[in-house]
Amino acid sequence: MLTDTATGPAGSQAVRETNLGAVLRAVREAAPCSRADVAATTGLTKATVSSIVGDLIAHGLVREVGAASERRVGRPGVMLTLDGRGITAVGLEVNVDYITVVAVDLVEQELLSRHEPFAAGAAGPEACARELVDLLRRTLADPVLAGRTVLGAGVAVPGLIDAPRGTVANAPNLRWRDFPLRARMLELMEEAGLPEMPVLVDNDANLGAVAEYRGGHRAHTCDLVYITGEVGIGAGVLLDGRLLRGSTGYGGEIGHIPLRRGGPLCGCGRRGCLEAVAGIDAILRRTVPDLAPTAPVSGTHLAAAVAATVERADAGDVGVLRALERAGSWLGRGAATLVNLINPQAIILGGYFVPLAPWLLPPCTAAVDAHVLAPERGGCRLEVSTLGLSAAARGGAAALVDALDTGRLPLPPRRPLERPRQEGARPNGRSPAR
């Protein structure tokens, strides 16, 4: 279970929602399992479990799959499993040069994904909100999602995010300040005739960490750091399975650790920050100066410039290799700060760092080794994400599923006509006559 305190149940339904989440989580972790198994796992009474399971079945979240096959004392219990056939959660990410969408089912299997060039910084927040809603509309209209109930939309944005309010407080690389993204998206969704649904807005690194925890190759690693490899560098930090947000929710901005006195100007207005010496923009200005002669490779050209860097590194271009080694070393110094401070089990490099990892990772690892006090990096492994540029969007979808699992998200509406049924049942939901 991923724990987060950004939102939570409140009011008279709090206990019921918490118990619903506990039962759903028990089924997720132990399926196929019986109602008695769930009662034993959760500590709830059998009557409470039976009532909650009835609700979960009615809402299309759980289904019955037949009696237990192993020998048990007494009457064999009907087994339960998650039912992902009628549910979807949608994750969206906006970054400097692209927007991404990922839709998953209740068991977090990917149903569809799209990655589209979009110059969000140049377009501005209003145009970007409209583009996100249009992408959401097109996604929900896809035949792959036909007949599914939508849990909500989770939106990843780089920068300082006021997650409880859904506001982008400061996104330097997008040049946004105090933009109420969630509120504006909800208005635009209503105008577009989209169904009502929760919208969560969070930092891209935080949601990248959620994605890694719930579905990456380091799944269920409770102490990990996910580092975004974009124009900006951020860190999503999980400690004991809990997102480390800080007192105001703005934690994890490793990209603005000052590393080089009097160094290059950063997008935040200061000099010598980690992202000013090791962010993708900083790397590309040195590896492909013909494509990025001065200020940032803006717009939708980052992917092409990264591909050109890979091509030149593969060809043995000495200048490119030297620039990547230098950037990797700076990145390692920033990572070493995290290792010394919080001793994670793994640090995972994501985003555009992934295709550059063959050249960044060796000097990064060497720098961590040189600057960490604990032997063998305190057991920390430096690794590369397998989720690519979809990690944050996938994390947005996963955060919704996790909120449902932990009782922080209300059940989706009942959909009687779409209700999943047991094998052998007729389309009207009734069992065949005996």
Q: Give 43's Cβ-side CA count (13 Å radius).
A: 1
pLDDT per position as a tens digit, 217-251: 888 899 999 999 988 999 999 999 999 999 999 99
pLDDT per position as a tens digit, 328-363: 999 999 999 999 999 999 999 999 999 999 999 999
Over 20-51, what HEC string results?
HHHHHHHHHHHCCEEHHHHHHHHCCCHHHHHH
pLDDT per position as a tens digit, 23-48: 999 999 999 999 999 999 999 999 99
CA distance 225 to 286: 27
pLDDT class of 427 with cuts at 50, 70, 90: very low
pTM here is 0.88
Report DSSP state, residue 42: H
Handedness of CA 191, 193, 199, 203 (dihedral sign): negative
CATH topology of domain 220-386: Nucleotidyltransferase; domain 5 (3.30.420)
pLDDT at 33: 94
In the chain, the largest separation of any two C-alpha atoms, in whole Å, equals 82
Helix axes 35-42, 46-58, angle to 10 degrees: 120
Q: Do domains 87-207+391-405 and 220-386 have the same CATH topology?
A: yes
CATH number of 11-83: 1.10.10.10
Residues 6+ positions from 219 with CB-CB distance below 8 Å = 212, 213
CATH number of 87-207+391-405: 3.30.420.40
Domain ranges of the chain: 11-83, 87-207+391-405, 220-386
Report which of 79, 72, 121, 84 is spatially closest to residue 99, judged by C-alpha positions.
121
pLDDT per position as a tens digit, 95-121: 999 999 999 999 999 999 999 999 998
